[in-house]
């Protein structure tokens, strides 16, 4: 076959396969058998293998996967991906309708009701009909580029059809249907892996897999429910959804225009029960103003559109018996009580355990041994005790006592003033704290050492190979190769084998070596200093510049850092007053970790040096507020988080809180506009 003949056949096959994909995955009306479809796809794969220069970016073979993504690139959303305001109350929903009517100055407004899919929000960007980018919500301003993985989802068109615009951005939800979820968990159980908790978590995890070939096997689906660009002079949300359905998108069939408020409540009541029959999970109903002109008139708050709201279904509640209470020790020594329950089905899963938070929770809930308790899933994920059936309690039952000593090392527990939890102070020798610090150190947001996880770290700890985080950097091939351990899964009781083979050992050692390039702010976070989170570690690192300056900082110097209060400052002082921690840092320095801010940390100017500036109110976009905060730091200033006597200026947007405004006036703080601020940093 010549290249010209191959090109013609590839185009024919691609067009035919795209059409069959659309009929099967979008319209659910297959017109060809699975065998015949596979034959067409196999022919296309063979031709593209023979003529790789003819592979098009929208080829159906791209859905098979094959791309490997070690780290997902961060992208900036063209339009912020805002979240919806939530309500569980009909009264609050009536207040929403009233706000809309008052904002528009009219009544009898049309609303569109849709299902609220329980999955992962996604933004799809098309140019000239071709999918060029798929991005997750992230923080609303920046998300992860997951284009390679999204291309494997067969209900997402790679190329649009019909009269589509030159550029198009659509938003939707990627979900894992019940059938795919059950299949995935069965496969995991067959190979000894613990089952995943729910379809939403499974969908989110699948979308971030590094190998797109694995994503292709997960059976994900996608519904599109919002259009960001003007299309063909359409002026209502409902019409826009119908229009993009003509382009090849899978749009929701579960949608209704409601002319009266009563119709909205009828839609909610219907799906509150009918949702149990759906082949996928939903957790509520989304209500949107239908007219685009009205949406533009109502606008946005800093976080949510004023023209839409989500009515969330109340979590399912079940009653079961408390069998016993066990206690877990975290990496910072905090002891968390866990309720062991008589197994009961809740929201589609069997629940055996629930968190009890701390000693105060047990006391406030008045939980007794053997009580009958009511449990819900917080956000439909984490089971929690929400009530106790005191009427069924027998007279001989006594309150659940909180333990006095660490369940792992036997050390007397302590509780600091102002803290809710008890903790074990034996940080140096308490096994779960040691293993917790090791797990925290290698986590993605910390040192990101690949191919190490909880079970592998537990094995290294048990073998005496890793006792401190510095020990990772002294591991050698001969230490690791051949290590094996059999474990019993707490979830299903099945046996699993952990084994360190050639490739695993090589990947671990490469990951450890690569972590030596991780910047100082993440190294500081990875150290696991109590109360120092990812954000505060970044601010502390940038403020002090290096570990030596930080280790010698006084209490007064520490609390000058934005977001560092007394509790964090005292924790840092305690950390650097411990000889073992100082020795650990010296060891980490010797192996080459980064303990100072590198290039790019110098301010653009010192025009705001010595000034503390608070940004308050809403701006054109959430991204603009973030930009102003960055400009403060880039020009030598400090970004304040609250109004106090240390603040020099407040950059005020719209709807600045009245309490902040009054406090600023009382303290004599200058309130300036965005334009005033820009003039301050731009002037010579």
The predicted pLDDT at position 190 comes to 53
Looking at per-residue pLDDT, the higher value among 233 and 251 belongs to 251
Q: Are strands 167-175 and 221-227 parallel, antiparallel or unpaired?
A: antiparallel
Nearest CA to 329 out of 199, 200, 400, 426 is that of 426
CA distance 520 to 623: 26
Convert the pLDDT of each residue in 392-421 to its tens digit: 999 899 999 999 999 999 999 999 877 778
Q: CB burial class (10 A; 0-12, 13-18, 19+) of residue 495?
A: exposed
Looking at per-residue pLDDT, the higher value among 604 and 44 belongs to 44
The answer to whether the beta carbons of residues 37 and 17 sit under 8 Å apart is: yes
**Cβ contacts of residue 594 below 8 Å, gap of 6+?**
516, 517, 518, 519, 520, 523
Average pLDDT, the chain: 85
With a pLDDT cut of 90, the percent of the chain lying above it is 43
What are the structure tokens assigned to 267, written together? 């839609």
Catalytic residue selected from 7, 70, 78, 116? 116
The predicted pLDDT at position 189 comes to 57
Q: CB burial class (10 A; 0-12, 13-18, 19+) of residue 362?
A: buried
- How many helices and strands in the chain, by DSSP H and E? 24, 22
Residue 602 has pLDDT above 60, yes or no: no
* pLDDT interval class at 194 (50, 70, 90): low
Terminal Cα distance for the chain, rounded: 70
Q: What is the mean pLDDT of residues 369-380?
A: 79
CA distance 13 to 55: 12
The predicted pLDDT at position 600 comes to 47
With a pLDDT cut of 70, the percent of the chain lying above it is 91
**Cβ contacts of residue 37 below 8 Å, gap of 6+?**
17, 20, 24
Q: What is the mean pLDDT of residues 254-283?
A: 91
> Locate tokens 């939530």: which residue?
86
The answer to whether the beta carbons of residues 175 and 119 sit under 8 Å apart is: yes
The predicted pLDDT at position 560 comes to 85
What are the structure tokens assigned to 413, written together? 């527990």
The predicted pLDDT at position 490 comes to 56
Output the DSSP codes for 158-181: SB--SS--SEEEEEEEEE--HHHH
Of the CA atoms within 13 Å of residue 575, those in its CB half-sphere come to: 23
Q: What is the mean pLDDT of residues 309-319?
A: 86
Convert the pLDDT of each residue in 32-43 to its tens digit: 766 677 678 778
CA distance 95 to 338: 39
Q: What is the mean pLDDT of residues 420-430?
A: 89
The predicted pLDDT at position 388 comes to 93
Greatest extent of the chain over all pairs of C-alpha atoms, in Å: 89
The predicted pLDDT at position 80 comes to 85
> Locate tokens 């979590």: which residue?
315
CA distance 58 to 69: 19
Phi-psi sector, 346: left (phi>0), alpha (psi -120 to 50), beta = beta
The predicted pLDDT at position 489 comes to 58
Q: Which domains, and CATH codes, for the chain?
A: 3-64 (1.10.287.610), 86-312 (3.30.470.30), 315-424 (2.40.50.140), 431-517 (1.10.150.20), 520-591 (1.10.150.20), 612-682 (3.40.50.10190)
Angle, in degrees to the nearest 10, between helices 579-591 and 566-576: 80
The predicted pLDDT at position 379 comes to 44
Most trustworthy range by pLDDT among 103-112, 136-145, 191-200, 528-537: 103-112
Convert the pLDDT of each residue in 467-502 to its tens digit: 999 999 999 998 888 887 777 655 555 667 777 888
Backbone angles phi, psi at 96, to 5 degrees: -60, -45
CA distance 394 to 390: 9
* Catalytic residue list contains 116: yes
Q: Label each residue of 25-43 as H, E or C.
A: HHCCCCCCCHHHHHHHHHH
* pLDDT interval class at 30 (50, 70, 90): low
The predicted pLDDT at position 604 comes to 62
179-193, 495-509, 551-565, 641-655: segment of lowest average pLDDT: 179-193
The answer to whether the beta carbons of residues 469 and 588 sit under 8 Å apart is: yes
Strand partners, 496: 487
Q: What is the mean pLDDT of residues 209-215?
A: 82
CB-CB neighbours of 415 under 10 Å: 14
Looking at per-residue pLDDT, the higher value among 92 and 18 belongs to 92
Residue 169 has pLDDT above 90, yes or no: yes
CA angle 571, 417, 570 (to 5 degrees): 15
């Amino acid at each position: 076959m010549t290249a010209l003949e191959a090109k013609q056949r590839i185009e024919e096959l691609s067009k035919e396969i795209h059409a069959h994909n659309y009929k099967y995955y979008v319209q659910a009306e297959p017109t060809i058998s699975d065998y015949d479809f596979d034959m067409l796809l196999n022919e296309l794969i063979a031709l593209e293998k023979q003529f790789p220069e003819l592979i098009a970016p929208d080829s159906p073979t791209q859905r098979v996967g094959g791309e490997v993504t070690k780290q997902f690139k961060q992208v900036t959303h063209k339009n912020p991906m805002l979240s919806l305001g939530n309500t569980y109350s009909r009264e609050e929903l009536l207040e929403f309708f009233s706000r809309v009517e008052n904002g528009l100055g009219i009544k009898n407004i049309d609303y569109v009701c849709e299902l609220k899919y329980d999955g992962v929000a996604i933004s799809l960007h098309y140019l000239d009909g071709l999918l060029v980018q798929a991005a997750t919500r992230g923080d609303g301003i920046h998300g992860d580029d997951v284009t390679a993985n999204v291309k494997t989802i067969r209900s997402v068109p790679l190329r649009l059809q019909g009269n589509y615009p030159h550029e198009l951005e659509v938003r939707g939800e990627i979900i894992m249907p019940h059938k795919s979820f059950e299949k995935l968990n069965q496969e995991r159980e067959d190979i000894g892996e613990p089952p995943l908790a729910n379809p939403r978590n499974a969908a989110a995890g699948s979308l971030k897999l590094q190998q797109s070939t694995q994503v292709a096997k997960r059976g994900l689906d996608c519904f599109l429910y919002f259009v960001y660009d003007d299309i063909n002079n359409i002026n209502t949300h409902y019409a826009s959804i119908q229009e993009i359905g003509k382009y090849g998108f899978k749009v929701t069939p579960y949608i209704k225009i409601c002319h009266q408020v009563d119709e909205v409540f009828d839609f909610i009541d219907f799906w509150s029960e009918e949702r149990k029959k759906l082949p996928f999970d939903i957790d509520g109903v989304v209500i949107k103003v239908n007219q685009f002109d009205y949406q533009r008139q109502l606008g946005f708050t800093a976080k949510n559109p004023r023209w839409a709201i989500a009515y969330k279904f109340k979590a399912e509640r079940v009653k079961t018996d408390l069998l016993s209470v066990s206690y877990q020790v975290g990496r910072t020594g905090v002891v968390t009580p866990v309720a062991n329950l008589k197994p009961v089905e809740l929201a589609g899963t069997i629940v055996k355990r629930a968190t009890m938070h701390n000693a105060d929770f047990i006391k406030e809930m008045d939980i007794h041994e053997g009580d009958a308790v009511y449990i819900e899933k917080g956000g439909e994920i984490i089971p929690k005790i929400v009530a106790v059936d005191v009427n069924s309690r027998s007279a001989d039952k006594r309150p659940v006592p909180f333990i006095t000593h660490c369940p792992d090392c036997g050390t007397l527990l302590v509780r600091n003033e102002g803290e809710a939890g008890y903790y074990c102070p034996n940080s140096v020798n308490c096994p779960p704290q040691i293993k917790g610090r090791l797990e925290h150190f290698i986590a993605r947001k910390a040192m990101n050492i690949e191919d190490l996880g909880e079970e592998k770290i537990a094995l290294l700890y048990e073998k005496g190979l890793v006792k401190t985080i510095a020990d990772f950097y002294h591991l050698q091939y001969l230490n690791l190769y051949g290590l094996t351990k059999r474990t019993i899964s707490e979830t299903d009781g099945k046996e699993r084998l952990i084994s360190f083979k050639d490739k695993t050992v090589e990947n671990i050692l490469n990951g450890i070596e690569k972590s030596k390039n991780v910047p100082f702010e993440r190294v500081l976070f990875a150290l696991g200093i109590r109360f120092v989170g990812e954000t505060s570690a970044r601010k502390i690192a940038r403020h002090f510049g290096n570990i030596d300056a930080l280790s010698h900082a006084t209490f007064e110097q520490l609390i000058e850092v934005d977001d560092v209060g007394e509790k964090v400052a005292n924790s840092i002082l305690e950390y650097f007053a411990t000889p073992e921690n100082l020795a650990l840092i010296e060891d980490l320095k010797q192996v080459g970790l980064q303990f100072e801010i590198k290039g790019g940390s110098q301010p653009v100017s010192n025009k705001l040096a010595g000034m503390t500036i608070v940004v308050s109110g809403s701006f054109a976009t959430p991204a603009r507020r973030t930009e102003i905060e960055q400009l403060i730091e880039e020009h030598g200033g400090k970004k304040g988080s609250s109004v106090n006597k240390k603040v020099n200026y407040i950059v005020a947007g719209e709807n600045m809180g009245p309490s902040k405004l009054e406090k600023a006036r009382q303290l004599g703080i200058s309130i300036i506009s965005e334009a005033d601020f820009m003039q301050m940093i731009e002037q010579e």
